[in-house]
Amino acid sequence: MNLLEERIQRDGVVKEGGVLKVDSFLNHQMDIALFRWMAEEWKRRFAGVPVSKILTIEASGIGIAAIAGECFSVPVVFAKKAKSINLDGGMYTAEVESFTHKNKNQILVSKKFLAPEDQVLILDDFLANGCALQGLISVVTAAGATVAGIGIAIEKGFQPGGQVIRSLGYRLESLAIVEEMDPARGSIRFRPQPQG
Ligand code: 5GP
């Protein structure tokens, strides 16, 4: 049973412009029991993959990543978004265009918190065009660390990010993949996934 898909069907709201609102359980009010299910599902899917650190991006990734960090018993780092460029040389940076706000942010991660020996699991709430993930991947790469895998809560399969990231050779595990959604009828169709 995929608890995330069930919850999206029940409480997700389909908006115009390919936007799915999940703020009643994921990125405003947070259902921690659901986050725990998600964390355990990533743990199961990434069984046998060495992970030394989880990396996400503020703000919506933090809650999910925190619970996953407890489940994987590793530290969690979140990339900060900054409007102004005020760098002291102690930061890895990348530029990320926001899908929801259409503006560009610099993302910053302190060099103190990523080391070349790190095996990094990148987590985020949504995958749309893949800009956020590409920024996080470039930060990991700049640190000389390894991307152990990528976990996404909700991939919008009708937008290009998933294909782009998979074609770069990364192992991407999305817990729910929305194949199609219709704002007029409020309907959502998921891509079938292998059962665990
Ligand atoms: P991308 O960088 O892949 O284009 O977009 C990913 C980021 O945009 C995620 O971190 C997420 O915060 C936001 N996002 C993208 N699509 C949606 C959506 O349909 N609903 C919500 N709530 N956020 C989204």
Q: Is the CB of 19 under 6 A from ligand 1?
A: yes
| CATH code of 132's domain | 3.40.50.2020
**Encoding tokens for residue 33?**
């029991």
Kindly give the distance from the C-alpha atom of residue 129 to the centroid of ligand 1, in angstroms, as a whole number: 8
- Predicted confidence (pLDDT) per residue in 69-91, tens digit: 999 999 999 999 986 566 667 99
The verdict on residue 150 lying in a domain is: yes
- Is the Cβ–Cβ distance between 79 and 107 less than 8 Å? yes
- Which residues lie across from 53 on neighbouring strands? 120
The pTM is what? 0.97
Amino acid 26: pLDDT: 98
Kindly give the distance from the C-alpha atom of residue 63 to the centroid of ligand 1, in angstroms, as a whole number: 15
The verdict on residue 196 lying in a domain is: no
The domain tally of the chain equals 1
d(CA 56, CA 153): 12
Q: Is the CB of 126 under 6 A from ligand 1?
A: yes
Over 90: is that where the pLDDT of 1 sits? no
d(CA 137, CA 145): 10
